[in-house]
Chain A
Amino acid sequence: MASDRRIGVLARHLGVEMDFESHTATAISASPTSGFQGNSVFSHVVRAPEDPILGVTVAYNKDPSPVKLNLGVGAYRTDEGKPLVLNVVRKAEQQLVNDRSRVKEYLPITGLADFNKLSAKLIFGADSPAIQENRVTTVQCLSGTGSLRVGAEFLARHYHQRTIYIPQPTWGNHPKVFTLAGLSVKTYRYYDPATRGLNFQGLLEDLGSAPSGAIVLLHACAHNPTGVDPTPQQWENIRQLIRSKGLLPFFDSAYQGFASGSLDSDAQPVRMFVADGGELLVAQSYAKNMGLYGERVGALSIVCRNADVAGRVESQLKLVIRPMYSNPPIHGASIVAVILKDRNLYNEWTIELKAMADRIISMRRQLFDALRARGTPGDWSHIIKQIGMFTFTGLNSEQVAFMTKEYHIYMTSDGRISMAGLSSKTVPHLADAIHAAVTRAA
């Protein structure tokens, strides 16, 4: 039969005597779907733990309780608790769909050119000297994560210092991104649990003792997870320290416009560093401020000393990107470009953005007031002092576990809550839960 003939041909090819007995025995006993070779080369692979942040949503989804509250992932919700697609985004998408001349060809490795230019203007300011002098290279990447990863890979290959200092605490994914890119990760003090504010002294000391040239990760605004940002004066001090020690700033800008409601205000720390003529990297994300989460839209910009360097840097960024995913996805970037390019859409966007930021600020106020009304022990003023999507409540993991079990509140075990997940209807339930956790569970 055919298979015997093939085996015969194969045997001749291999110059080997085939043991037909054992082959036949195996053929009879083996089920159709089991491998002849038995073990998989990956049979030793163990199941990875759930991602702590995304795992919260997984647990939330499993809970049948009607009062459950998801304060885990930082995705914006309306006061009805629904996700939001901005009007300007809908309009832009409709425009794209209706345009029959649009094609789906590959973008260049560096992404959509218009998008890149407009993104640089958004973060650095339209009149930024760095842009005018062609000293900035901007490449489209997969949201903030992708921008950080591409930037880190570039640094690991081309920068003389392989150490990056990240704030303590920081977004859970930061250490993994930098480690996989080939950098070694150290921390600098940032959050002060006693004040629930910035440990400014500790920050200055730790950055002050970093080796010359070390990379420093800075959250441009609305620090994640604490919501604690330096004041403008503190930013200036940080800038001076970083420049005098020759450290390299790498900004993560995931919330521009979301923190204060003003795109320009939220970009001030980055612009301060650009204004002094020095170099820096910045990872931008449109996930939150344009609600484009799942489209994965972002940009990495590297501000260089001069245009020649910027050109060479860009060519090397391409070599990082090509073996990772070849070129970035077109849809989200096209939406952003349509909006940023059009005066009316841009203005409409700033209004919708301010509305989101304002709703969050009002949730902070409501939660603070609710805790005060209940006489919950402790100082809760940090809720209204902190800024952006998240509040670092100061609750410990036992208290968090209590709140999940008894009140069906889902949040990360570090005590971080996403304010965007709160509504005027659900604030009382959360306040009750916090009150119970603080008074009952130590």
Chain B
Amino acid sequence: MAFTTAMACRLIGRKSVIGARSMSSWWRNVEPAPKDPILGVTEAFLADPSPDKVNVGVGAYRDDNGKPVVLECVREAERRIAGKLNMEYLPMGGSVKMVEETLKLAYGENSEFIKDKRIAAVQSLSGTGACRLFADFQKRFSPDSQIYIPVPTWANHHNIWRDAQVPQRTYHYYHPESRGLNFAALMDDIKNAPNGSFILLHACAHNPTGVDPSEEEWREISHLFKFQVKNHFAFFDMAYQGFASGDPERDAKSIRIFLEDGHHIGIAQSYAKNMGLYGQRVGCLSVLCENEKQAVAVKSQLQQLARPMYSNPPVHGALIVSTILGDPDLKKLWLKEVKVMADRIISMRASLRENLEKLGSPLSWKHITKQIGMFCYSGMTPEQVDRLTKEYHIYMTRNGRISMAGITTGNVGYLANAIHEVTKSA
């Protein structure tokens, strides 16, 4: 409407002086924020012109040509949903179908808890969103509780619980000397945590170390939760189901052990890695309750937290997931494709270790094949990592974490050589 525009312009005219009077910004005191340590690595990698550059920073899967992968099952699902009839709002709790299928993955296809409707579950914005919703829920309904976070952990865990204003503590996890699990110290810390503490556990493929408790150790941890007088809450972050061993059922073992022992747990699930749906932001938060009534109550409260954050979750990724998991053939295809990804990573682990040993490295690299999942905690120091970047154009986070998915048959030799060079005199 030309009239409105003309009218508005005429009115502004000389009057713009009023707005311009105070020249300084409301935010002149805003400090520049530090770069995200993980995502900042990829930014730096992209800016590097060197033809030899290698990105073993972000945990996004790459094929043996170093290229990102869209799974065939995902492509097929997208073809099917492309002509969809509407893009209506999902309910606040997300896609019911997608949540149902997702719970089966975590709790078991024939889980009693699903049958008895004891699980409060909502679709979330991938794993991050699930953790954040849970942290907000914890703050609101267990305001006196603390969260115990393993050392080390995915850096964003600290940010999430901090922004939810839940006080955090840490527990021992990684054992630098053995490059394995510090089991005794872990058990002590959990034992000594105050009554009613919330404990964050990585269900499988610990990020960033790749160090997981053995099945036996998981049973002992679960028993510790059970036999203490203290009423701890176990919250599992499961971002790599299927990605660790290649078998989703096997990767959910820790959770199943806790369920068998009767614990009321919470779980954050993500399809970012195991379905390659990174940018779609698809995940699920679930909380196991005493009974159906409680599950309904808890779910309604989770929705109350989601509504003022984003109202309802995005539909596209959820549709992809429910299309795949709801179709037996597509689901079979998915399971195959997940195993391919996991197997490639396992073979890169073997290859990297072999290369380093062949170069005559004085250090032990056994941990490379002992650790599991997307990441390897190399044990390199920040200074060594800096040298890798400066001298060899190899990009990784300064804690020495290598994303195995970034390794290919094409670059494993170059990488091994570079690591050897910076560590041989260690």
Contact surface of A with B, Cβ cutoff 8 Å? 6-7, 9-10, 13-14, 18, 30, 32-37, 39-48, 51, 54, 73, 75, 83-85, 89-90, 93-94, 97, 102-109, 142-143, 145-146, 149, 158-160, 173, 176-177, 179-181, 213, 232-233, 235-236, 239-240, 243-244, 246, 248, 260, 262, 264-265, 268, 271-273, 275-279, 287, 291-296, 304-306, 309, 311-313, 315-316, 318-320, 322-332
Contacts and interface: CB of A to CB of B under 8 A. Distances in A.
Contact of B8 (A89, A90, A268): A268
B128 A325 contact: yes
B214 interface: no
Contacts of B91: 54
Contact of B31 (A73, A143, A312): A312
Given A232-B7, A248-B26, A322-B36, A176 B308 contact: yes
Contacts of B112: 32-33
Interface in B286-319: 287, 289-290, 294, 296-298, 300-301, 303-305, 307-317
Given A6-B220, A309-B28, 9 more contacts: A14-B191, A104-B278, A109-B39, A142-B309, A142-B314, A239-B19, A273-B19, A295-B314, A316-B33
Nearest to B33: A315
A178 B309 CA distance: 10
B296 A329 contact: no
B58 A319 contact: no
A326 B132 CA distance: 10
Contacts of B31: 312, 316
A103 B70 contact: yes
Contacts of B36: 109, 318, 322
B424 to A, nearest CB: 35
A108 B39 contact: yes
Contact of B309 (A84, A104, A149, A279): A149
29 contacts: A6-B223, A7-B223, A7-B227, A34-B290, A35-B263, A36-B262, A37-B226, A40-B289, A41-B233, A45-B294, A54-B89, A83-B86, A89-B87, A108-B39, A159-B26, A159-B27, A262-B1, A265-B4, A268-B4, A277-B19, A296-B313, A304-B27, A309-B25, A309-B28, A323-B132, A324-B132, A325-B132, A325-B281, A329-B316
Nearest to B112: A33
Contacts of A328: 281
Interface in B93-126: 112-113, 116, 118, 125-126
A10 B220 contact: yes
Q: Give the interface residue-count category, chain B.
A: 35 or more
Interface stretch (B77-85, B171-179, B242-250, B348-356): B77-85
Interface string B176-193: 000000000001000100
A43 B32 contact: no
B277 A104 contact: yes
B280 A313 contact: no
A54 B92 contact: yes
A7 B277 CA distance: 42
A304 to B, nearest CB: 6
A173 B307 contact: yes
Nearest to A41: B233
Nearest to B279: A330
Contacts of B187: 13
A332 B290 CA distance: 38
A142 B262 CA distance: 37
B68 interface: yes
Given A41-B142, A145-B310, A103 B68 contact: yes
A46 B297 CA distance: 5
B262 A105 contact: no
Nearest to B163: A323
B47 interface: no
A14 B308 CA distance: 45
Nearest to A148: B308
Nearest to A97: B82
Nearest to B79: A97
B289 A42 contact: yes
Contacts of B279: 104-107, 327, 329-331
Contact of B294 (A7, A42, A83, A233): A42
Nearest to A240: B18
A48 B301 contact: yes
A325 B82 contact: no
B138 to A, nearest CB: 9
Contacts of A331: 279-280, 314, 316-317
Contacts of A83: 85-88
A299 to B, nearest CB: 14
A324 B128 contact: yes
Contacts of A293: 87-89
Contacts of A318: 33, 36
A100 to B, nearest CB: 8
Contact of A104 (B141, B163, B276): B276
A149 B33 contact: no
A322 B159 contact: yes
Contact of A272 (B8, B29, B303): B8
A59 B226 CA distance: 43
Nearest to B4: A265
Interface stretch (B9-17, B332-340, B364-372, B411-419): B9-17
A15 B285 CA distance: 37
B155 to A, nearest CB: 9
Q: Which of A14, A309, A324 has the most CB of B within 10 A?
A: A324
A411 B261 CA distance: 48
B116 A33 contact: yes
Given A143-B310, A315-B33, A325-B126, A75 B156 contact: no
A105 B60 CA distance: 8
Given A103-B70, A278-B19, A331-B316, A45 B226 contact: no
Contact of B261 (A36, A51, A158, A320): A36
Contacts of B224: 10, 14
Interface string B218-229: 011001101100
Nearest to B164: A323
Contacts of B92: 51, 54
A260 B16 contact: no
A417 to B, nearest CB: 18
Interface string B381-396: 0000000000000000
